[in-house]
Amino acid sequence: MRHIRQQSTRRSALLGRGAVVATVPVAVAALLATAGPAAAGTTGASGAGDPYFKLAGNGGYHVSHYGLTLAYDTASRHLDGTAVLTARATESLTRFDLDFEGLKVTGLTVDQVKADFSRSGQELVVTPRHALRKGQEFRVTVTYSGTPGPVTDPDGSLDGWIPTDDGAFVAGEPQGAMTWFPANNHPRDKASYDFTITVPENRTAVANGVYLGKRTAHGKTTYRWRQSEPMAAYLATATVGKFKVEQYTTRDGIKVYNAVDPREATDTARVLKKLPSVLEWESKVFGPYPFRAAGAIVDHAPDVGYALETQTRPVYDSAPSTSTLVHESAHQWFGDSVSLTSWKDIWLNEGFATYAEWLYSEQHGGDSAQETFDDLYSRGASDDLWDFPPADPGSGANIFDTPVYARGAMALHELRTAVGDPTFYRILRAWVTEHRAGHGTTAQFESLAERESGKNLDKLFQTWLYSEGKPNKP
């Protein structure tokens, strides 16, 4: 609002010069209206407006590309980094923030000109020498170094750069991306990425997207990766370790790169060989796989306690089960290609990925989704499954709790029961098609389901997504 008012003030100042403005061509007038003096403009907001993570993301600009050049020494755990962000101002800016936690910033330029910066918690506050015009594309280069470590999330779990005995397990949901690169750290702002990662030559560095190759010199190997489809910062990885690598291309032309810690290799092999068939099955159910690359990073990271659907290539803290493989793969559609607009909507990720597990079981000789549902429904009213409604977790501390996953999946099962299988699958496919490489909200999902089914589903969503306590017998 503040910004709009400033714009119109400046425009009326110009109009006040009457005769002069009347002779200025429209395009030039538009330029004048946005190219204010250096002091004009606003300071970009310190957060993207997320109700649970107030400082996550920033206002005033969008990032279109991150170029990350990293060197990690596994012995000393020292990281040197350079991040080049290509961004566009969405308002005229005298100042803007990046999210960056911990590491020391050793240099910062905006369009090659040294910029002032200060640190305040997770905010890296940048004051460019020249104010940025609304709509202006600009490039921020940050050089940094230090010993990265994870952040502790509101639920007590670790995320970010998590050192392991042979490297680092790198996962950023919901906050940890800022522990290893400066970012607009909210899923609302998606960008493409290039990674250049140098590690000791007996280690492998695995990131997202397509593997572009490696080069070894002086005892160090540099790996290059490219994630060309838009990605939220939390889905970026640069996991380092001693890995056994396997590469192949699927029948659908997807480039697979798997990296497996040898200590997990035996347990992993029997599950990971199903990856092509899992992706094929999910492509049949949800629509075409949204990325050109796929794979898995199976680490040996006993301190982590979870897997994450890092884009194209999920990272597992140990050998996954088939259902975990199905779950993280399903996130490629639900969560990665179609991103959250707000962490409050996390059931759009976790409820859907969990329901994918139920469907996979049903269609591969296991329990039917109805059986899984009934089993959960039989839990008593005081069970933590009913602690809160999935579309309203209440705080960032609850976003990975049972109601989000299991009751979220139950909500989808109830939707399926209400609209019938053909309509239900059409809804899932319409959702991933219409929001592909973009974002979605719970409200948008509800209206899409009503549109596709021609039914009023208010009561169903009210009961399963928003009502406190155990719903009455369906």
Burial class (CB in 10 A: 0-12, 13-18, 19+), 25: exposed
The answer to whether 75 and 200 are in contact (CB under 8 A) is yes
- The whole-angstrom separation of Cα 408 and Cα 413 is 9
For the bound state, the minimum distance from the C-beta of residue 355 to ligand ARG, rounded and expressed in Å, comes to: 13
Residue whose C-alpha is closest to residue 404's, from 430, 384, 419, 381: 384
CB closer to ligand ARG, 86 vs 157: 157
- Residue 156's CB is within 10 A of a number of other CB atoms, namely 7
Identify which range of 44-52, 197-205, 218-226, 302-310 contacts ligand ARG by CB under 6 A: 302-310
Name the binder of 409 from ligand ARG, Zn ion, none, CB < 5-8 A by kind: none
Residue whose C-alpha is closest to residue 473's, from 410, 421, 406, 393: 410
Identify which range of 34-42, 132-140, 239-247, 351-359 contacts Zn ion by CB under 5 A: 351-359
Which of residues 50, 101, 299, 309 is near ligand ARG by CB under 6 A? Answer: 309
For the bound state, the minimum distance from the C-beta of residue 278 to ligand ARG, rounded and expressed in Å, comes to: 15
For the bound state, the minimum distance from the C-beta of residue 212 to Zn ion, rounded and expressed in Å, comes to: 28
Q: Which of residues 241-280 bind Zn ion (CB under 5 A)?
A: none
Residue 19: φ, ψ to 5°: -50, -40
SS3 assignment, position 139: strand
Name the binder of 159 from ligand ARG, Zn ion, none, CB < 5-8 A by kind: ligand ARG
Name the binder of 424 from Zn ion, ligand ARG, none, CB < 5-8 A by kind: none
CB closer to Zn ion, 171 vs 260: 171
The helix, strand and coil proportions of the chain, stated in percent and rounded to the nearest 5, come to 35, 30, 35
For the bound state, the minimum distance from the C-beta of residue 6 to ligand ARG, rounded and expressed in Å, comes to: 39
SS3 assignment, position 147: coil
For the bound state, the minimum distance from the C-beta of residue 446 to ligand ARG, rounded and expressed in Å, comes to: 22
- The whole-angstrom separation of Cα 430 and Cα 414 is 18
**153 touches ligand ARG (CB under 6 A):** yes
Q: Could you list the beta-strand ranges (E) of 204-292.
A: 204-206, 210-217, 220-231, 239-241, 244-249, 255-260
| Per-residue contact flags (x/-) with ligand ARG for residues 381 to 420, judged by CB under 6 A | -------------------x--------------------
In order, the DSSP letters of 150-169 are EEEPTTS-EEEEEEETTEEE
CB closer to Zn ion, 180 vs 316: 316
Spell out a b/e string for 460-471, using b for 16 or more CB atoms within 10 Å of the CB, else e. Answer: bbeebbeeeeeb
Given the DSSP bridges, would you call strands 61-73 and 191-200 parallel, antiparallel or unpaired? parallel
Name the binder of 157 from Zn ion, ligand ARG, none, CB < 5-8 A by kind: ligand ARG
Alpha helices per DSSP H over 420-441: 421-434
**353 touches Zn ion (CB under 5 A):** yes
| Per-residue contact flags (x/-) with ligand ARG for residues 44 to 73, judged by CB under 6 A | ------------------------------
Number of residues that bind ligand ARG (CB under 6 A): 11
In order, the DSSP letters of 350-404 are HHHHHHHHHHHHHHTTS--HHHHHHHHHTS-TTSGGGSS-TT---SGGGTTSHII
The answer to whether 51 and 342 are in contact (CB under 8 A) is yes
For the bound state, the minimum distance from the C-beta of residue 412 to Zn ion, rounded and expressed in Å, comes to: 14
Number of residues that bind Zn ion (CB under 5 A): 2
Q: Is cis: bond before 174, omega within 30 of 0?
A: yes
**159 touches ligand ARG (CB under 6 A):** yes
For the bound state, the minimum distance from the C-beta of residue 327 to Zn ion, rounded and expressed in Å, comes to: 5
Structure tokens that stand for 257 in this block = 């790169």
For the bound state, the minimum distance from the C-beta of residue 432 to ligand ARG, rounded and expressed in Å, comes to: 18
Name the binder of 306 from Zn ion, ligand ARG, none, CB < 5-8 A by kind: ligand ARG
Q: Which of residues 312-351 bind ligand ARG (CB under 6 A)?
A: 350
**91 touches ligand ARG (CB under 6 A):** no
The answer to whether 44 and 55 are in contact (CB under 8 A) is no
**173 touches ligand ARG (CB under 6 A):** yes
Which of residues 110, 256, 271, 308 is near ligand ARG by CB under 6 A? Answer: 308
CB closer to ligand ARG, 173 vs 264: 173
Binding site for ligand ARG (CB under 6 A): 153, 155, 157, 159, 173, 306-309, 350, 400
Binding site for Zn ion (CB under 5 A): 350, 353
